[in-house]
Each structure stands twice: as C-alpha cells, then as structure tokens.
Amino acid sequence: MTVRFKEDSNHLTLYTKESSYQMQIDDHGVLLHTWYGAKIDDRASHLIELRDRGFSSNPPDLVPDRTYSLDFLPQEIACLGNGDLRDFALDVAWENGTHALDLRVVNYSWEDKAPDWGVLPHFWSDKDHTLCITLKDREKDLYVHLYYTVYYEYDLITRSLSVENRTDETIVLHKAASASVDFPTQDWTLLHFAGRHNKERARQDYEVQQGRFKIYSSRGVSSHQHNPTVILKGPDATEDFGPCYGFALVYSGGFDITCEGDQYGQTRLVMGLDSQNFSWPLEPCQSFQTPELAMTYSGQGMGKMSRDFHKAVREHLIRSPWQNRPRPIVVNNWEATYFDFTGEKLLEIVDVAREIGLDMFVLDDGWFGARDWDDRALGDWQVNEKKLGMPLRDLVKEVNKRGLEFGLWVEPEMINKDSDLFRAHPDWALTVPGRQPLSSREQLILDITNPEARRHVTDEILKVMAEAENVRYVKWDMNRSVLDTYLAGADRKSQGMYRHLYVLAMYEMTQTLLDAYPDLLLEGCSGGGGRFDLGMLYFVPQIWTSDNTDASDRVEIQYGTSFFYPPSAISAHVSAVPNHQNHRTTPLKSRGIVAYQGSFGYELDLTRLSEEEIAEMKDQVKTYRGLAELVLQGDYYRLTNPFSGEAYTAWSTVDPAGKKAILSVYYHDLKSNYPNPILRFKGLLANSLYELSLDGQVLGKFLGQTLMEVGFRSAYPEENYQAFLYQVTLCE
C-alpha cells in the first residue's frame, strides 16, 4: 500500500520503497506537512510546536488562541494572505483587488493510476497510486486540488495542483506554483545548475540560511542560465552517503524556484511557473492546472538520487518508441558546412559516413527558402531545390541508397523579417503594439498561440516530411528568448497568460508531429541546452546537450546534466579541432570517450579526415555499438567532480545485473609529476570475478570487491586532455 490514512490522528502517509511523505489534517482542517525523508512507520507530528510568537498573526476563527499561526507552521501548500509571511505557492486576487486565501481540507481520495494532464507533460503509470486532497477557501467557493502520485520502485513522488473557481466572480491567479515543501531544519546545502549558452548546468552550492534564495528563468524557456532542478543535501551528504532530496519541474517554460530559510531555523522550497510574467484570470466554473513537480528522497547520497531519477524518466516519462532502443549513430553537417553546401557536398559526407559505419545523415539549417545566412527565411519551410540541386525526396533516396537513414533540422517557432511568411503575415510575428520588436540573431518569435499561424507552420513542415517520404529523425531547434509577449484580442488582466499559452502551443505542435510520425526519432534543441528539461523529455527521447562540443567543456556540462537526466537523453557528438566554440585542441580518442556518455554521433566535415582519423573513427563506432545498450540503460555513477580542482574527471556506467561495466577518466591540463590516481568502480558484484581491460588489453582479473574498495592505478597521460576507457566483464 503506497497511501495510508490513520483515522486516529488524521495523518496521510505516502510510501515509496525507501521513503515516507506525511501530512496531518489538524483539528482546524489545515493541512500540515509533518515529514518527508527516510521510511517511518510512526507519525512525526510531534515535531510541530505551538507557541505564542511575537508578530505572528493568528487565524480569526482561532482567536484568542495566540499559539497557532501559519507564519511558522509547516504547511502542505503555502498561500498568500493567511498570515504566513514566508514565500508562497498560491496568490489569488479577488475582484475587489484583495489577496487572501485560507484553505481548509474538504475531502481526499485516491486512484490506482497517475492522472493524465493532456498536452501538459507528466509522468505516467497505470499501476501506481495517486492521492487527491481537496481544500476550500474558508470564506469563498474557491477549491484547490492537490495531486500526489507515488512511483514506489523509484522513490519518486510527483506533485501538482489545480485551482477551481466555483464562485460567481472572476479571480486572477498571480502565482500558481506546483508545490511548496517545508523542512523543520535549516542545515541544508542547495545545489543548483547555472550557466550560459555554451556553458550550461554548472553545479553551484548554496548554504541555506535565513533569507530567500531565488533561481528563475524569465526567458520563456527553461534556459541556459538556470535549470528547473535543485537538490537539498544534508551537511555531510556525498555521492554515496547521507540524506538528499531532488526536485525537478516537468515544464519547458520560465520558472521560479525559491529556497527560504525562515526566522525559526526552518526551510521552505517553492517551485513552479515563472510568476514574474504570469497572471491567469479564472472565470466562474474555470480551473487552472499547474505543471508537475517530481521529487525524490535518497538516504544514500546523490548518486542513488540520480539513478532513481534516470530510471523513472526512462520508464515513466519518455514515451518515444526510442525510449529503450539504441539510437542511430549520426553525422550532422552543421559544423561541417554551416550554410555553405550543395547536395553534391552533402553526399560526399554521406560516402565517408558509410565507410566509417554510421547510421544516419542529418541535414541541418539552410535547406529551405533563401536561407543562406541566419538573418533570413525562417518561416519559409519550402525546400530550396536550387541549392540542393535536386528535390529533397531525391536527396533522401540517394542517402538511403548509400546505406544511411536521413534526418532534418527545423526551427518552427521562429520567423525572420526577411521571409516570405513575414511579408505575407507580419501580424504573425510576436510584437507589442506600438513598439518595434526586440531582435535576437535577427529572429522574431512566430506567435504560435495564434491557431492560424500554428497550423500553417505545422502543415508546412508536415508537407516537407510527406514529400521527402523517409525522414526518420527531426532536430527541433529554438534559438532565442520569448520576449515582446502580447496576447492579441485579450484584455489587460489576461496578458500574463501568454508565456504559458506559448509553451502549451509548442507542446501541441510537437505532439502533432509525433501523431503523424509515431516512430520518428525527435531530438530537442534550443541553442543546445536552453530547453533541457523534463517537459521536453515527455515528447523527445534525447536533447542536444550544448552547442559547445569541446570535450573538456562537455565533461563539465554532462556532469551537471547527469544529476537529473539519464545518459540516454544526452545527445553528444565528436567535433573537429580546433573546436569551433573555444578553439581548444583535444585528441580524437578523448572526444570519443566523452561523447560515449550519451547518444553518440559526429559533428564535423568527414571529407577532411586523414586515413588515420577515419580508421580511428571506425574503431569508435565499433566500440560504441558494443557499449550503447549499457550506456543508455545502465546505472550511472559520478566518480569525481570536475569542479573540484582535480587534474582528472572520472565516471562509470554499470549493467544493472552487474555483468559488465565501463569506467572513463578524462585528464584536464597536465600537471608536472602528477601521481597516477587510484580509480575505483562502484556497483559491481562484490564476490564475483571480473576481467579488467584497457583498449582490448587484459590488465588482470579481480574480485568486484577489490575493484570497488582497493581500486587500480590509472594509466598515465602522455598528452593534454588524454582520456582512457576501462572495461570490466564478469568472468564465466
């Protein structure tokens, strides 16, 4: 039983395999939060302390009791206007302009499956339990429904809420976060993942203290600058030991995350939609549903937390038929040719790709309209046959004839002023009336909240797909922030709906493409990692992790990405050197080992390779084919932190059955007389015998216990940025 209600104490407890989440409906109908953490069979409400505390107001129905105040009690859903002056999840404005909400429990129920939120992405299951708790405002007929779905085997709980207006007035939601979670102590470190374009998801640690620490994206996408994921870890927690909590928003738009230490040593975490750019009118009989928040507890450190997330995402979020299938090894022509290509040049790349043994050729930007540079033709989704020298169908057939599948790049959410579409429909470009629009890379946003514009661009891309006949892969890109928002035809109080409506429209377009081509391998992208989130992974099985393909930088980027996202979702390619983003030169072997960490491919001009490089790439392809299933479905271990200042970074992937494993080590800048580090596997069978090898050479046979506890000396690097890939196989 994953949901339990104790009649004697009005306690609701959710159980996962190794955790408990507990609430209490108190004598006043207030839903208090009493415990989230290690699995317990008892109640934890004895930690709640009622005291007369100065400057903490008391609910009017409890006066003259001065010991009860929502200003310090741990609550299941924090609201503005009930005396709680900490951060809040819900802010409702009434028609008279006041902001007040006092929620009390009305009833609760549970079902044996996860809810279906339609186009809004969500974890899914037909066997796990969902608890719904309904609360009502004490004065008015406004209802809030809290949803909790328990994914028992993964120690995962998803939360969301809906607000239902049963009053006879129009209300406005100014904030509707997915959840607030209270903790009784403040001895936490908050990990979040910040960065910028080409340097995404760098781990940052913040010691929780009194005050509010806010992480957010107001860019209309989850963004390169911040990721909608955080970890709260105990003071001594590591990769392998100690308590930690992981929280991830299942959403692809702007977001708010606030972590607050209050005056009494407690901690509150609030996560949800970007409230800075949000307001949502609710007419009588209307409801609003928030995105899901996924959360997990691990008492065994951040490594277990990550592996639980990886499994849950692969098995209960990603819906693609490619969910558990090895992905094709691709070559993308972007860094090979940029806009300067012909069909003949592309086929030359294909010929070398066939020789190397690749599976798919992906035609990137520049195949449509007058798209010879990035300042024109977005929106003109008609094939430039003059540039290709043939119809796209003929190019696809020729690529297939030469033994490769065909993929295509698109950017459906954008429009250029220099485009036939803009000249025909300037009103479809998102602009604020009376102002010139902000430009980014000379791109404007196509107003996809306009059904006519959305249908047009979707139909044009589907037409290209149908005429090409055999496009097996699509890379969906998005290369700017959503600004100049204006909801045409709406009144002033409705303008704050735009960004959420935009995200829902993008989801609808994506789903339309998948409905038309159910077996399509769809890859997400937003200038690389600008929309790398659980919301997108509901629609796509993998995301272009960063536009930065440098091996050294990718070690750091993929490290940060791995805390919540499985390696199967990490699209990683080998590119040319000097690298196009930072001009660093790294060995080809090292670039391959780093790219093996996810869905593998190439991003360079294959026609410029030497015979030696072609031979090495053939070996890389052969190696990855033997590792693909392990990499994409195995248990992932971070062995070191690339931000720690060490000279090397190591990571490992282990077959869940313990039959085989790999360990990769990447050396950063060489240091004089640096001692060979000792490397240790994790997750092996302690009493089983394994064969350890490097580059096909057997180094010896060892018990799993020895490889995990004693370890082995790494090979010594002979050049900067050298990497090694060790393999262990269970001896029969």
Render pLDDT for 452-485 as a digit per residue (tens, 0 to 9): 999 999 999 999 999 999 999 999 999 999 999 9
CA pair distance 470, 397, nearest whole angstrom: 8
Contact 313, 154 (CB under 8 A): no
Choosing from 292, 364, 460, 533, the catalytic residue is: 533
Residue type at position 267: T
Residues paired with 703 in a beta bridge: 689
598 dihedral zone (left: phi>0; alpha: psi -120 to 50; beta) = beta
Cis preceding-peptide flag for 518 (omega within 30 of 0): no
Position 8 scores a pLDDT of 64
Long-range contacts at 390-394 (CB < 8 A, ≥ 24 apart): 390/343, 391/467, 392/367, 392/464, 392/467, 392/468, 393/467, 393/468, 393/469
- Eight-class DSSP state of 688: S
Q: What is the dihedral of CA 380, 386, 392, 398, to 10 degrees?
A: -160
Position 279 scores a pLDDT of 96
Question: Any catalytic annotation for residue 533?
Answer: yes
Contact 215, 223 (CB under 8 A): no
Position 72 scores a pLDDT of 96
Q: In what order do the strands lie in the sheet with 3-6?
A: 3-6, 11-15, 19-25, 31-38
Q: In what order do the strands lie in the sheet with 635-638?
A: 635-638, 648-654, 660-667, 723-730, 689-694, 697-703
N-terminal to C-terminal alpha carbon distance within the chain: 40
C-alpha triplet 29, 33, 34: angle, nearest 5°: 115
For 529, the token pair is 């990692």
CA pair distance 626, 638, nearest whole angstrom: 21
Cis preceding-peptide flag for 64 (omega within 30 of 0): yes
Most distant CA atoms of the chain, gap in Å: 86
493 dihedral zone (left: phi>0; alpha: psi -120 to 50; beta) = alpha
Position 9 scores a pLDDT of 72
Spatial neighbors of 162 by CB under 8 A, at least 6 apart, are 144, 145, 147, 287, 288, 289, 290
CA pair distance 579, 445, nearest whole angstrom: 30
Cα distances (Å, whole numbers) of residue 145 to 42, 172, 181, 218, 443 = 26, 17, 16, 27, 40
* Model pLDDT for residues 295-309, shown as the tens digit of each residue: 999 999 999 999 999
Cα distances (Å, whole numbers) of residue 475 to 300, 332, 438, 508 = 37, 10, 26, 17
Residue type at position 174: H
Spatial neighbors of 7 by CB under 8 A, at least 6 apart, are none
Q: In which residue are the tokens 């969301």 written? A: 160
For 444, the token pair is 């404007």
Where are the alpha helices (H) located in 563-643, listed in sequence order? Answer: 588-595, 611-633
Q: In which residue are the tokens 């899914």 written? A: 124
Question: Any catalytic annotation for residue 459?
Answer: no
Position 500 scores a pLDDT of 98
For 620, the token pair is 């890389």
Contact 196, 186 (CB under 8 A): no
CA pair distance 455, 449, nearest whole angstrom: 10
β pairing state of 599-603 and 330-332: parallel
Contact 149, 129 (CB under 8 A): yes
Contact 39, 15 (CB under 8 A): yes
Contact 330, 604 (CB under 8 A): no
C-alpha triplet 330, 333, 339: angle, nearest 5°: 160
Burial pattern 602-640, b for ≥16 Cβ within 10 A else e, equals: bbbbbeebeeeeeebbeebbebbeebbebbbbbbbbbbb
Q: Identify each DSSP E strand in 63-188 by its residue range.
A: 90-93, 103-111, 130-137, 142-151, 156-165, 171-183
Domains belonging to the chain, first-starting first, are 3-316 (2.70.98.60), 330-631 (3.20.20.70), 648-730 (2.60.40.1180)
CA pair distance 225, 232, nearest whole angstrom: 20
Q: Which residues of the chain have pLDDT under 50?
A: none
* Model pLDDT for residues 481-537, shown as the tens digit of each residue: 999 999 998 999 899 999 999 999 999 999 999 999 999 999 999 999 999 999 999
Choosing from 613, 616, 619, 646, the catalytic residue is: 613
pTM above 0.95, yes or no: yes
Spatial neighbors of 42 by CB under 8 A, at least 6 apart, are none
